[in-house]
């Protein structure tokens, strides 16, 4: 009988479902706070069900010899080291919609609390002070609400904001103009949002792009008297910068549900008269906790008892029969998507998948889902193979599949083309007999390259001297080249260079590469 550990507080519904379905379950709601004890016993379990208190680090995963699945009863998975779990073959699943309404409602409640100073007024009234003149609020009607991250939760906040007669503007690189129109929000750039908003609310995942998205330079671009709400993740705001802006009066108030370090039992913003704080309560309603507990328990049981995969962040939904043949192509599709996604900086209108040769007769639905996941993952941390096609549809990204019986130079080939307002960018790959995915074509230029964890992509003019200067720059920066791959349209024409390097590439080095006279674009890619 599989054994599951629940190490955070979950509704009793989850425990009951595990028991009813014949899974042995240990419920230890405070264990997430005790790293040592958790590390001691994790080796005994096939499944781990968590919320946000348990930090599933690479170190913990090292000790989890039998673990097959981690189930996050909630949305954000920034407390799980997904690459470490993937490397150990552990599936990570979440419940992407179960607490969205509840969290959006909390953001709206925080906005009202700020506008009318309800927590302060409540405390003062309980003290018997009756300070009627002290608490002068502001109306929400006709004010501009700026939403950063207009996904599931941000969209619900937008609908509620519109219902409150606010003018809603949104910054989200993946919000299509059509979706913005459907929602009734005005899609704007980030600086414009900062400049125009009376209230700003954050609803992005925590990624390398969103970390510190509100720092002192962002705060200074905002209107004097702006009010900020954060019910997403603490690290999105530089807390010391926010304190300075609150102290100076530039920011009139901040309502924070999340903090850079949690649990936050002491904090530089605690006690500030213009700060409303809650202890990561965004998802804490009876309804949301029932939803996520039920979903996570059912999903984990389905996987442990039947091998069925739902809402996995690191694993495609594939039946047992087709798995051996399909899996390397799923990996290829996701890597091609990730390659194109990392190179795409403007709104995506469409993604076209061309399946040629053997692969055209496989389960292309799973392959397309993997490819879309790869394209979206750089900005949508929680997207997975199940949700990716729906997310793309919702965002107005047209998905097209083309199948051809044979491939010109390979037995099987996948070509992924991303269509943006400005251009179409295609990348193609295959799987060789060794089972490894390879890139064989970029923007119509033939080449052959393996994917590596850290790569530099350069487009350049095919002129003498480029390779020497490029390699010299990397050498001078102490960056070791692992593989070096070149391709060009024709002598002296457009060329592409794809280099795998050991370790990271500092931005300054990329700037130097970009400044080489024959270089058009240089970008670091991580796989
Ligand atoms: N306080 C709480 O208890 C809860 C917090 N959350 C947090 O809320 C976050 C959002 O959740 P959902 O709306 O369900 O996720 P989602 O994935 O549906 O939406 C996130 C949106 O952020 C956008 N985005 C990504 N990078 C961006 C960037 N650099 N700038 C602007 N927008 C960007 C994406 O395009 C997407 O539309 C979660 O990742 C989680 O961290 C979620 C549930 C409860
Ligand atoms: O489980 C919780 O209380 C936190 C929920 C959350 O932050 C999430 O779902 O991302």
Query: Residue 194 C-alpha to ligand 1 middle, in angstroms?
Result: 18
* pLDDT tens per residue across span 176-213: 999 999 999 999 999 999 999 999 999 999 998 999 99
Instruction: Tokens for 101, please give them.
Output: 């309404």
Q: Is 283 in the pocket of ligand 2 (CB under 6 A)?
A: yes
Question: For atom 16 of ligand 1, which residue has the closest CA?
Answer: 151
Give the CATH architecture of domain 316-451. 2-Layer Sandwich (3.30)
Task: Report the relative pairing of strands 91-94 and 144-148 from DSSP bridges.
Answer: unpaired
- 262 included as an active-site residue: yes
pLDDT at 318: 64
* Residue 108 CB-density burial (10 A; 0-12 exposed, 13-18 middle, 19+ buried): buried
* Per-residue pLDDT at 384 exceeds 90: no
pLDDT at 264: 97
Top pLDDT among 403 and 491 is at 403
- 410 included as an active-site residue: no
pLDDT at 386: 61
Strands (E), 288-411: 348-357, 398-404
Atom index in ligand 1 nearest the CA of residue 258 equals: 1
Domain locations in the chain? 3-98+287-315, 100-277, 316-451, 452-527
pLDDT at 34: 95
pLDDT at 86: 76
The position carrying tokens 């300054």 is 508
Give the CATH architecture of domain 100-277. 3-Layer(aba) Sandwich (3.40)
**In sequence order, which ranges of 344-462 are alpha helices (DSSP H)?**
364-376, 388-394
Q: What is the mean pLDDT of the chain?
A: 94
pLDDT more than 90, % of the chain: 82
* pLDDT tens per residue across span 442-495: 999 999 999 999 999 999 998 888 999 999 999 999 999 999 999 998 887 889
Question: For atom 7 of ligand 2, which residue has the closest CA?
Answer: 76
- Identify the helix (H) or strand (E) that includes residue 178: helix 177-183
Close Cβ partners of 248 (under 8 Å, ≥ 6 residues apart): none
Question: For atom 35 of ligand 1, which residue has the closest CA?
Answer: 174
* pLDDT tens per residue across span 238-258: 999 999 999 999 999 999 999
Residue 214 is classified by DSSP as B
Query: Residue 153 C-alpha to ligand 1 middle, in angstroms?
Result: 7
Residue 266 is classified by DSSP as S
* pLDDT tens per residue across span 25-83: 999 999 999 999 999 999 999 999 999 999 999 999 999 999 999 999 999 999 999 88
Task: Report the relative pairing of strands 69-72 and 24-27 from DSSP bridges.
Answer: unpaired
Helix, strand, coil percentages in the chain from 3-state DSSP, rounded to 5:
35, 25, 40
Sheet containing strand 519-526, edge to edge, reads: 481-488, 494-501, 454-461, 519-526
Asked: is 3-98+287-315 a CATH 3.30.1340.10 domain? The reply is: no
pLDDT at 449: 95
pLDDT at 366: 86
Atom index in ligand 1 nearest the CA of residue 204 equals: 22
Name all residues whose Cβ lies below 6 A of ligand 1: 74-76, 99-100, 103, 148-154, 171-174, 203-207, 209-210, 231-233, 257-258, 280, 282-283, 379-380, 382
Residue 119 is classified by DSSP as H
Closest to 326 (Cα-Cα) out of 381, 365, 292: 365
Question: For atom 23 of ligand 1, which residue has the closest CA?
Answer: 149
pLDDT at 346: 82
Q: Domain 452-527 class?
A: alpha beta
Query: Residue 231 C-alpha to ligand 1 middle, in angstroms?
Result: 10
* pLDDT tens per residue across span 132-151: 999 999 999 999 999 999 99
- Given the residues 227, 233, 395, 415, select the one marked as catalytic: 233
Average pLDDT over residues 214-220: 98
**For the packed helices 100-116 and 118-126, what is the interaxial angle rounded to 10 degrees?**
60
Q: Is 152 in the pocket of ligand 2 (CB under 6 A)?
A: no
pTM: 0.74
Question: Lowest mean pLDDT: which of 227-231, 379-383, 438-442?
Answer: 379-383
* Residue 166 CB-density burial (10 A; 0-12 exposed, 13-18 middle, 19+ buried): buried
Of 89-103, 149-163, 295-309, the range with the highest mean pLDDT is: 149-163
384 SS3 class? coil
Identical topology for domains 3-98+287-315 and 316-451: no
* Per-residue pLDDT at 321 exceeds 70: no
The interface pTM score, or ipTM, of the predicted complex is: 0.99
- 106 included as an active-site residue: no
pLDDT at 524: 95
Ligand nearest to the CA of 94: 2
* Per-residue pLDDT at 116 exceeds 90: yes
Instruction: Tokens for 64, please give them.
Output: 């989890």
């Amino acid at each position: 009988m599989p054994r599951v550990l629940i190490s955070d507080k979950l509704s009793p519904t989850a425990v009951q479902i595990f028991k009813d379905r014949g899974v042995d379950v240990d419920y230890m709601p405070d264990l997430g706070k005790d790293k040592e004890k958790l590390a001691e016993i994790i080796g005994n379990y096939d499944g781990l069900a968590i919320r946000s208190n348990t930090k599933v680090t690479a170190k913990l995963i090292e000790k989890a010899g039998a673990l097959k699945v981690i189930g996050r009863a909630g949305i954000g998975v920034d407390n799980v080291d997904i690459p470490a779990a993937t490397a150990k073959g552990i599936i990570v699943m979440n419940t992407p919609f179960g607490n969205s309404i509840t969290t959006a409602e909390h953001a709206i409640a925080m906005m009202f609390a700020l506008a009318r100073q309800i927590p302060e007024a409540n405390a003062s009234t309980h003290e018997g002070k009756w300070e009627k003149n002290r608490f002068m609020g502001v109306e929400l009607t006709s004010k501009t609400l700026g939403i950063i991250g207009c996904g599931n939760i941000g969209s619900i906040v937008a609908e509620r904001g519109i219902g409150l007669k606010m003018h809603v503007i949104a910054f989200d690189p993946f919000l299509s103009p059509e979706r913005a129109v459907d929602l009734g929000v005005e899609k704007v750039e980030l600086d414009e949002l900062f400049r125009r908003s009376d209230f700003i609310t954050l609803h992005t995942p925590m990624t390398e792009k969103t970390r510190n998205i509100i720092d002192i330079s962002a705060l200074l671009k905002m209107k004097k008297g702006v009010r900020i709400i954060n019910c997403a993740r603490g690290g999105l705001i530089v807390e010391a910068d926010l304190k300075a802006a609150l102290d100076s009066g530039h920011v009139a108030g901040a309502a924070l549900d999340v903090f850079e370090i949690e649990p936050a039992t002491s904090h530089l913003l605690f006690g500030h008269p213009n700060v409303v704080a809650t202890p990561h309560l965004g998802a804490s309603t009876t309804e949301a906790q029932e939803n996520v507990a039920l979903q996570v328990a059912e999903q984990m049981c389905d996987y442990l008892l039947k091998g069925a995969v739902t809402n996995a962040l690191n694993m495609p939904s594939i039946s047992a029969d087709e798995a051996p043949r399909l899996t390397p192509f799923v990996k290829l599709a996701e890597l091609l998507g990730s390659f194109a996604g990392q190179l795409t900086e403007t709104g995506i209108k469409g993604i076209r998948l061309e399946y040629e040769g053997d692969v055209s007769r496989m389960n292309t639905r799973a392959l397309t889902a993997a490819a879309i996941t790869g394209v979206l993952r750089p900005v949508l941390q929680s997207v997975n193979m199940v949700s990716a096609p729906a997310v793309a549809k919702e965002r107005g990204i047209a998905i097209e599949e083309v199948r051809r019986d044979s491939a010109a130079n390979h037995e099987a080939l996948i070509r992924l083309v991303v269509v943006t307002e400005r251009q179409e960018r295609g990348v193609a790959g295959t799987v060789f007999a060794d089972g490894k995915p390879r890139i064989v074509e970029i923007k119509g230029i033939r080449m052959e390259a393996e994917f590596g964890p850290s790569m530099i992509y350069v487009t350049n003019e095919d002129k003498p001297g480029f390779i020497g200067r490029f390699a010299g720059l990397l050498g001078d920066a102490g960056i070791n080249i692992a593989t070096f791959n070149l391709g060009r349209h024709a002598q002296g024409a457009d060329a592409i260079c794809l280099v795998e390097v050991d370790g990271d590439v500092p931005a300054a080095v990329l700037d130097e590469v970009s400044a080489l006279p024959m270089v058009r674009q240089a970008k670091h890619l991580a796989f």
